[in-house]
Structure formats: structure tokens, C-alpha cells
Structure 1
Amino acid sequence: MAKNGPLALSFHALVVLFMLAPLTVVCLVAFTPENTLSLPWHGFSLRWFKAVFERADFIQSFYNSLILAVVAATLATLIAVPAALAITRCRFPGRNLLNGLFLSPVIIPHLVLGVAMLRLFALMGVNGSFVWLMFAHVVVITPYILRLVIAAAIGVDRSAEQAAESLGAGRFTLFRQITLPMILPGVAGGWLLAFINSFDEVTLSIFVTSPSTQTLPVRMYVYATESIDPMMAAVSALVIALTAATMIILDRVYGLDRVLVGRH
């Protein structure tokens, strides 16, 4: 065991380095004073961050993505929590089918989902609608919340619930005061993963957005096809900073170990 310690540590260090190296390079390129995607060998500059905030289309796309991610993650949570409790605590015909249906968007490629929803929305005459774009994101991100809430619900000691129920607590009171606090780390972790996945979603969004509902990842994709300059690195650095800040806040409030495992 001791002999494998340094080897295992070196392996994990290499994995972390492999994951962080591209992000580090992108963040460094964002500070370059040059007009090309090069490292800031000749000093650091904020010119590309300033350029981002001067682009009204990027600002609007950011707000679109932020509102979309918050609302979609919240709606998906409202769907996933009761579904997870029903799947883990009830026995009914079609239970496994319901579980598979909720988790199917993880298996189906987002390209296929995007084409299918594009066709569906065209038939319904709702192409470019922000509401239906939100619906598409809810479908895609619900499985992330469902899995964490299921893990949290399975690990809950139900003796407290049974005691409260024996004392006359109603179903809503029981859920609000006993069940929800115990599964809250799983719910919070699921919401966070759903938010990040919705905010970063590009493959599906390309098919179902319009110029007025264009999200930030789609705007970045379109811009990258037109021009290659460090402004894309600046936008990416801002997105990385936003994600890191969200993770730090969640860690301070709940603790990432509790959130990601979905247990106390």
C-alpha cells in the first residue's frame, strides 16, 4: 500500500495537470496584448476584457444564458425532486420505465435532440421562442438533478420521518421540515450541475435559438466561425471565473463533499 502511495499521487497529479492545463492556457491568453491567440510574453493587458464588455451582443447573450440557466435549473429541480422521491420510495407499474425516461436525455446525443426539437418546434410554430428554449434545456438537465436527489434520498434515515408522521405531521409539513432538509445537499448539488450544464449547453441550443434568444455559448460559437482573436479567450476566462465562484460559494454553504455525494 505504501509502495503504491507515491505512484498513485503522481498519477493523480498528472490527471489534474492534464485537466487544468487547457484552462490555464485559455486564461493566460485572455490577458495578451497581441491580436493573436498567443501567451502574454510581452506583458499583460485587459484590452480583450474591455472589448467583451463593449459588445452589446455578448452582454445580451450572457443575460439570456444566465436567466435561462437559473429558470431551467429551478424548473428541473421542481420536476426531479418529486420524481426521485417517487422512484426511491414507491413501488408502482412502470417505475423503471419512468426512471429510464427521465435519464434518457443523458444517453441520447444532444445533436439528435437538437434536430428533433427543431423539427417539433417548427411543426408547432414556436421556433425561436425563449419559453420553448427553456423547455428544451429542462429536458436535458433534469437527469443531473434526478441522479443526485435519488442518491440523497436512498441515503436518508427514514426514522425521523416515521417519528414525525406518527406524531401527526401532514405530508407537506413532513416534506418541508424533515425530508427536504435531509436531501438538500443533493438538491443543491443537482441544481448547480443543472445550472452549469444549461449555461454551457451549445449543441442543442444552436438548433432552437433565434437571434433574440441566442445564448452566450452559441454567440461564442458563431463569433469563432467569423473571427479568431483573444476575445474568445477573455469570454472563456469570465465563464471559468463564474463557474469557479459558484463552486466556491456552494462549498462554503454546504461543502462540496456533501453536495456531490448527495448525503449528510
Structure 2
Amino acid sequence: MYRNGFFSLAFHTLFIAFIVAPLVVVMAVSFTGEGYISLPTDGLSLRWFHALWENQEMVDAFWLSLKLGLVSATFATLLAVPAALAISRYNFPGRGVITGFLLSPLMIPSVVLGIAFLRFFSLAQIGGSLWALSVTHVIVVLPYALRLTLASTIGLERDVEQAALSLGAGRFTVFWRVILPRIRTGVIGGWLLAFIQSFDELTMTVFVATPGTTTLPVAMYNQISQTIDPLITAVSTVLIVGTLAVMVFLDRLVGLDRVLIGEKQ
């Protein structure tokens, strides 16, 4: 059995410390009582967490980002599942073109997408609405949901499905009881990646968002560009702790390795 040597363990320890150190610093700064970003600090304080709680703009932006992420990830997954099944199972003309088209948002710079969406919505006179912002996010996050879902459908044996059909099960029953459980990890992983990408999207959203549809990344960007107080570090700490809590929950529920790697049943 292969075991890592001392230098390998030391390298991985330093690498993980290099990745985690900025997060630890941000969390430490969020507990300062000063009116500016400082570390070390004279004492611990929850001043900026109270300020965050009272900052209605940040709170509204968080809920908007959460709602937008849930909606866009769900719709993107609903589109990704049938698309993945069609692409992986049928050899039809133009399959490669359709696959490339659905994955094309990954290859187009976010600035270009933002300008294109802004121009389109301006000409269509539908800009500034939550509906328009949701459409843009669905388009942007669809490739993330599609890639993991497609990976879970490729090579999927169809013998069980044929057996279910021969026993009288309907098409929807076969999908719900046979196909979906076998690609569940890919679907869940794709939904999570789509949600994270939507929640974290900034560059494209800056062009489409309006004062009434300001997401959390846009609000944080505006805060950083205008002030130097540690309010942003408090927001970051809340997001870090929330992310860790979600990861622990997913690990207890289905296992992170199965969700993120897409291990098949």
C-alpha cells in the first residue's frame, strides 16, 4: 500500500495552508472593532455583524441572490436533464453543434455576454426586471448543470429501462423510478455548480442589474469601491460559514465525493 512520505505531506500541508490562509485572515478582520480594515486588532467585536444586519441594502441583495440562484439553477437543471439524455443516447444530425451551442457560454467572456444582454434587453425594452436577470443567469449557468448531468448519462446501460417498459411501466414512470435515481449524483452536482455560479456571478450581472435588482456580488463590489470599512469582511465571513454548513449537510446527506465527483450508483 502506497503511503505519502514526509515531503509529500509537508507540501500538501503548505499548499492547503496557502489556500485557507486568506479566508482565515478575512474572518479575523471581520471581528475588529475599528472603522477600517486592520489586523491585528485591539479586541474582538461584533460591530460589523450588527452593521451588516442593519444594512438593508446588503440583506435585500443577499435574498435576491439566493432567490435568483435557486430559480436559475433549477431551470438550468430542468433544461440540462433532457438535453443530456438526448445528446448521450441519440446520434442525430447536428448533435455536436447543439452541444457546442449549449456549452458556448463557457467560452464567451462575461464582459461580452453582459454587453450583449444589455443591448438586447434595451432594444426589447424589458431591461431592469427580475425576469430578464433570471434569463441571463439561466443561460450562463446552463453549461455547468449540463456538463455534470451529461457525464452521468454517458454509458448508462438501458437494460433496466427496457425491462421496466416491457413490464408495462410508462415513459414518465421509467424516467422517475429508473433513470433519475441512476443519474441523481450528476444532477445534484450540476445543480449545485449552477447555483454557486449564479450566486457568485458579478461581471455579467453588473451590466444587467439595476438599483432594484442588485445582487449580493454587485452590492459588495459597490461597497468596496466606495468605502474601506470592514463590512465586506463580515459579509464574507457569513458566506464562508454558510458554505461550510452546506458542505457538512451535503456530506451527511449523500456524501461530498458523490456530489462533486459525480460517482454513479
Q: CA deviation at 1:205?
A: 0.6
Q: CA deviation at 1:40?
A: 4.6
Q: CA deviation at 1:39?
A: 2.4
Structure-2 residue corresponding to 1:11? 11
Structure-1 residue corresponding to 2:28? 28
Structure-1 residue corresponding to 2:207? 207
Q: CA deviation at 1:4?
A: 6.1
> Partners of 2:25 and 2:89 in 1: how far apart?
47
- What is the letter of the counterpart of residue 159 of structure 1? D
Structure-2 residue corresponding to 1:149? 149
Matches within 5 A, 1:136-215: 136-154=136-154, 156-215=156-215
Q: CA deviation at 1:158?
A: 3.0
Give the 3-state SS of the residue equivalent to 1:211 in structure 2.
coil
Structure-2 residue corresponding to 1:71? 71
Give the 3-state SS of the residue equivalent to 1:241 in structure 2.
helix
Which structure 1 residue ranges, 5 or more long, are not aligned?
none
Contact kept in structure 2, 1:72 and 1:198, CA below 8 Å:
yes
Q: How far does the alpha carbon of each residue in 1:74-115 deviate from its partner, in whole angstroms, 9 at most, with x for none?
A: 000100111011111111111111111111111111111111
Q: CA deviation at 1:30?
A: 0.7
Q: How far does the alpha carbon of each residue in 1:104-148 deviate from its partner, in whole angstroms, 9 at most, with x for none?
A: 111111111111111111111111111010000001111111111
Contact kept in structure 2, 1:33 and 1:40, CA below 8 Å:
no
Matches within 5 A, 1:249-264: 249-262=249-262, 263-264=264-265
- What is the letter of the counterpart of residue 82 of structure 1? P
> Partners of 1:184 and 1:240 in 2: how far apart?
26
Which structure 2 residue ranges, 5 or more long, are not aligned?
none
Q: How far does the alpha carbon of each residue in 1:54-76 deviate from its partner, in whole angstroms, 9 at most, with x for none?
A: 01111111111111000111000
Q: Which moved more, 1:163-172 or 1:46-55?
A: 163-172
Contact kept in structure 1, 2:148 and 2:190, CA below 8 Å:
yes
Per the normalisation by structure 1, the TM-score is: 0.95
Instruction: Provide the aligned C-alpha RMSD in A.
Output: 1.6
> Partners of 1:191 and 1:3 in 2: how far apart?
35
> Partners of 2:27 and 2:215 in 1: how far apart?
21
Summarize the Cα distance change of 1:135–1:227 in structure 2 as closer, same or farther, 3 Å threshold: same
Q: CA deviation at 1:21?
A: 1.2
Contact kept in structure 2, 1:68 and 1:134, CA below 8 Å:
yes
Q: CA deviation at 1:155?
A: 5.2
Structure-1 residue corresponding to 2:47? 47
Matches within 5 A, 1:116-127: 116-127=116-127
> Partners of 1:107 and 1:8 in 2: how far apart?
35
Contact kept in structure 2, 1:196 and 1:243, CA below 8 Å:
no
Q: CA deviation at 1:196?
A: 1.1
Structure-2 residue corresponding to 1:102? 102
> Partners of 2:236 and 2:17 in 1: how far apart?
19
> Partners of 2:80 and 2:182 in 1: how far apart?
16
Structure-2 residue corresponding to 1:89? 89
> Partners of 2:240 and 2:173 in 1: how far apart?
39
> Partners of 2:16 and 2:258 in 1: how far apart?
21
- What is the letter of the counterpart of residue 129 of structure 1? S
Summarize the Cα distance change of 1:211–1:243 in structure 2 as closer, same or farther, 3 Å threshold: same
Q: How many equivalent pairs are there?
A: 264
> Partners of 2:150 and 2:143 in 1: how far apart?
10
